[in-house]
Amino acid sequence: MIAIGGAGLSARIDPLGAELVSLRDGDGRELMTDADPAYWTGHAPILFPIVGALRDGVYRLDGQEYALPQHGFARRSMFEVIEQTTDAVTLRLTDNDETRAVYPFAFALDVRHAIEGATLTTTVTVHNNGHRDLPASIGFHPAFAWPLPYGRPRAGHRIEFEREEPSKLVRIMPGAVIGPADRESPLDGRTLALTDELFAVDALVWPAIESQSVLYGVEGARLLRIDFPDTPMLGIWTKPGAAFVCVEPWHGIADPEGFAGDIWEKPGIKRLSPDARWSVEMRITLTH
């Protein structure tokens, strides 16, 4: 594990997936999931080169089919540390024989975690190192402690959106693909009151959101603000009874039910020309 931090926050990063596995406040209190294997052992995987599931587990490119697992392969790949200081680290994954067998593109994927004061900024940058256009999606999947470690019960935790979100949510269908956007919003104004019942079926998924940040926690205690200026989609997920809730900013989404197009038509895919770079950022700030 790689340790970074300062007086306001400290973090541990696993080179497997370049994944944030611990985020603690200045007093050492854990703000992330307990990773109870009875529910989910993830912490904050980086989603690349797709977000969500593919219909039948495959995508189509140039008349061929390629298999990719849900959320892609970056979260199960070993990254190399290319730069490290006391308060920041940058890790890199480059294409290899294994990735090219399922994603035939030359790329470098950099993940930078940096702490300044009470803010952790994670920046994911993909560089097209090849000679043809590259398709990619990027997503975040951080799982925060529910309850947060500030003496308040699990009940009463909520997520406050920056703006009102009148749009309906999509349904999660068999195979983890998405169905129609006909699920009524569970928000009361801008507020999502967290309950296990919300997640009895699956995640809450907004295919398009107005907000670029949310606040998570209990009124009157310290809160987490999650900023996501580059991602137009959002998932919120847990398993009933678990001690975490995921706030997941995405630039990409699962295949729609019945989707039969090639990868360039997949919702949320970014097309990078040769030598182009694309960066997506998420900030986690502990408020006072």
- Residue 30 pLDDT grade (very low, low, confident, very high; cuts 50, 70, 90): very high
- In whole angstroms, what is the distance from residue 20 CA to residue 1 CA? 10
Q: What is the architecture, at CATH level 2, of domain 2-286?
A: Distorted Sandwich (2.70)
User: Would you say 250 and 231 are in contact if contact means Cβ atoms under 8 Å apart?
Assistant: yes
pLDDT for position 48: 98
- In whole angstroms, what is the distance from residue 167 CA to residue 233 CA? 12
pLDDT digits (tens, 9 = 90+) for 193-232: 999 999 998 899 999 999 999 999 998 899 999 999 999 9
Q: Once rounded to an integer, what is the mean pLDDT over residues 79-105?
A: 98
> Phi/psi of residue 75, each to 5°?
-65, -15
| CA-angle at 251, arms to 250 and 254, nearest 5° | 75
Q: What Rg do the C-alpha atoms of the chain give, in angstroms?
A: 18
173's tokens: 């269908």
Q: Once rounded to an integer, what is the mean pLDDT over residues 36-40?
A: 96
**pLDDT reading at 288 higher than 90:** no
Reply yes or no: is the peptide bond before residue 49 cis, omega within 30 of 0: yes
- What is each CA distance from 82 to 95, 116, 149, 276, in whole angstroms? 16, 20, 33, 20
Run of H or E residues at 97: helix 97-102
3-state secondary structure 150-214: CCCCCCCCEEEECCCCCCCEECECHHHCECCCCECCCCECCEEECCHHHHCCCCEEECCCCCCEE
pLDDT digits (tens, 9 = 90+) for 238-283: 999 999 999 999 999 999 999 999 999 999 999 999 999 999 999 9
- In whole angstroms, what is the distance from residue 115 CA to residue 146 CA? 22
Q: Once rounded to an integer, what is the mean pLDDT over residues 126-150?
A: 98
- In whole angstroms, what is the distance from residue 258 CA to residue 236 CA? 24
- In whole angstroms, what is the distance from residue 123 CA to residue 85 CA? 16
Would you list the DSSP string of 46-57?
EEBS--SPPGGG
- In whole angstroms, what is the distance from residue 285 CA to residue 103 CA? 34
Percent of the chain with pLDDT over 70: 100
Amino acid at 274: P
Q: What does DSSP assign to residue 137?
A: -
pTM: 0.97
pLDDT for position 149: 97
Q: Once rounded to an integer, what is the mean pLDDT over residues 120-143?
A: 98
Q: Once rounded to an integer, what is the mean pLDDT over residues 19-29?
A: 97
User: Would you say 228 and 286 are in contact if contact means Cβ atoms under 8 Å apart?
Assistant: no
**pLDDT reading at 6 higher than 90:** no
